[in-house]
Amino acid sequence: MSETVLHTVGLRRQFTLPRESLFRPPETVFALNGVDLSIQRGRSLGVVGESGCGKSTLARLCMALDTPTAGHVEVLGRDLSQLSAMELRQARAQFQMVFQDPYGSLDPRHTVRRIVGETLEALAPRQGDGTSGVSREEAIGQAIDAVGLRRNDLDKYPHEFSGGQRQRIAIARALVTRPSLIVADEPVSALDVSVQAQVLNLMQELQQDFGVTYMLISHDLGVVDYVCDEVAVMYLGRVVELAGRAQLFAKPCHPYTKALFDAVPRIGAGRRSGADRASTLQGSVSSQTRQITGCAFADRCPRAESRCLDEAPELRRIDDGHMASCHFA
């Protein structure tokens, strides 16, 4: 039953910055520093972290939109870096992506039919092929039904839709090839609260109906808590804690995860007084252009000791299905 849909092994990605001086070597951004994750079929993994933690780089690598500096990505057991361009193109039917900005990710000059159908066109060039005998039109129709739009919307253009409806179109486009894996990078952060709930509910329904596996990238812990089975917390290109949703939210082990939870403003908690303020995490994420020897979080961590500066903590097992990388966890 449990089949691994996505598996990443020691994933690293470094970007070289433009040279700033003739006399110094160009600087390097260490965006991902060894990420090992896997997602079983029909499950969903949430990836949380602040900007610059490498979550979007991770998404791009998993979608083979970028190549890792080291390590590799396996989708359904196939190593994406070993595939030829043609094979990769066909394999893309198995993994699709939903982007953050529903205004920028849909071509304004194409009809919905063309936007949704383009995926089929590109991935399964022969008519009817790859959609198990159903005609292309029917596949597009089914995808548009599944996301709760009407079939006579197919001839409209993106500007005729609201933000939430556009995000539905983007999901239909990802769904039309019946992929095993959908990676959604901040799918609801551009939407209003009342509309956000509609899209989140839709994502859950689709998972039940089609058995899709999700990797959901979000900075919003509430969204991740609602949609995901497992959660990975990232900090400066590393996974610092990985656990089942209930476990993680009940008992966060890594000091960064705890700080992240404490920082989320709670409704009905009353106005923050001086005592509450003391718990706020100080400082900001340190530079990504430095190779860090010890724990990446040590400079902001309230518990840091000299050991944390010298020795990088391994991601180790704390409890059943609960991993954290902290010397004190």
Partner 1 sequence: MALLSVDDLHVELQTNRGMVPAVRGVSFAVEAGGTLGVVGESGCGKSITALALMGLLPEGARVRGRIDLGGTDLLGLSEDEMCHVRGNRIAMIFQEPMTSLNPVHRIGRQIAEPLRLHRGLRGANARDEVLRLLDRVGLPDPAKRIDAYPHQMSGGQRQRVMIAMALSCEPDILLADEPTTALDVTIQGQILDLINELVDDSGMGLILISHDLGVIGETTDNVAVMYGGSMVEQGPTDSLFEHLAHPYSQGLFAAVPRVGERHDGPLHTIPGTVPELADLPPGCAFADRCAKASDVCWGPAPGMAEVGAAHHAACHHLGGAV
Selected from 22, 277, 306, 320, the binder of partner 1 by CB under 8 A is 277
- How many other C-beta atoms are found inside a 10 Å radius of the C-beta of residue 262? 13
Amino acid in the structure at residue 174: A
- Report how many residues bind partner 1 under the rule CB under 8 A: 48
Asked if 16 touches partner 1 (CB under 8 A), the answer is no
What minimum distance in Å lies between the beta carbon of 259 and partner 1? 6
Asked if 280 touches partner 1 (CB under 8 A), the answer is yes
Asked if 289 touches partner 1 (CB under 8 A), the answer is no
Residues with Cβ within 8 Å of residue 33, at least 6 apart in sequence: 12, 54, 236, 237, 238, 296
Binding range to partner 1, per CB under 8 A, among 20-28, 114-122, 167-175, 201-209: 201-209
Residues with Cβ within 8 Å of residue 102, at least 6 apart in sequence: 163, 164, 166, 167, 169, 170, 190, 191
Provide the mask over 119-148, with x wherever binding to partner 1 is found by CB under 8 A and - wherever it is not.
------------------------------
Helices (H) and strands (E) in the chain, counts: 11, 12
Asked if 160 touches partner 1 (CB under 8 A), the answer is no
Selected from 43, 89, 219, 322, the binder of partner 1 by CB under 8 A is 219
Asked if 159 touches partner 1 (CB under 8 A), the answer is no
**Of 281 and 312, which has the nearer Cβ to partner 1?**
281
Asked if 195 touches partner 1 (CB under 8 A), the answer is yes
Question: Phi and psi of 327, rounded to 5°?
Answer: -65, -25
Q: Which of 291, 297, 295, 292 is nearest to 28 (CA)?
A: 291
- How many other C-beta atoms are found inside a 10 Å radius of the C-beta of residue 287? 11
Beta carbons of 313 and 322 less than 8 angstroms apart: no
**Of 125 and 222, which has the nearer Cβ to partner 1?**
222
What minimum distance in Å lies between the beta carbon of 98 and partner 1? 17
Binding range to partner 1, per CB under 8 A, among 103-111, 135-143, 265-273, 312-320: 265-273
Q: How far is Cα 42 from Cα 134, in angstroms, rounded to an integer?
A: 24
Beta carbons of 180 and 41 less than 8 angstroms apart: yes
Interacting residues with partner 1 (CB under 8 A): 50-51, 162-165, 192-198, 200-201, 204-205, 219-223, 225-226, 245, 249-250, 259-272, 274, 277, 280-282, 284-285
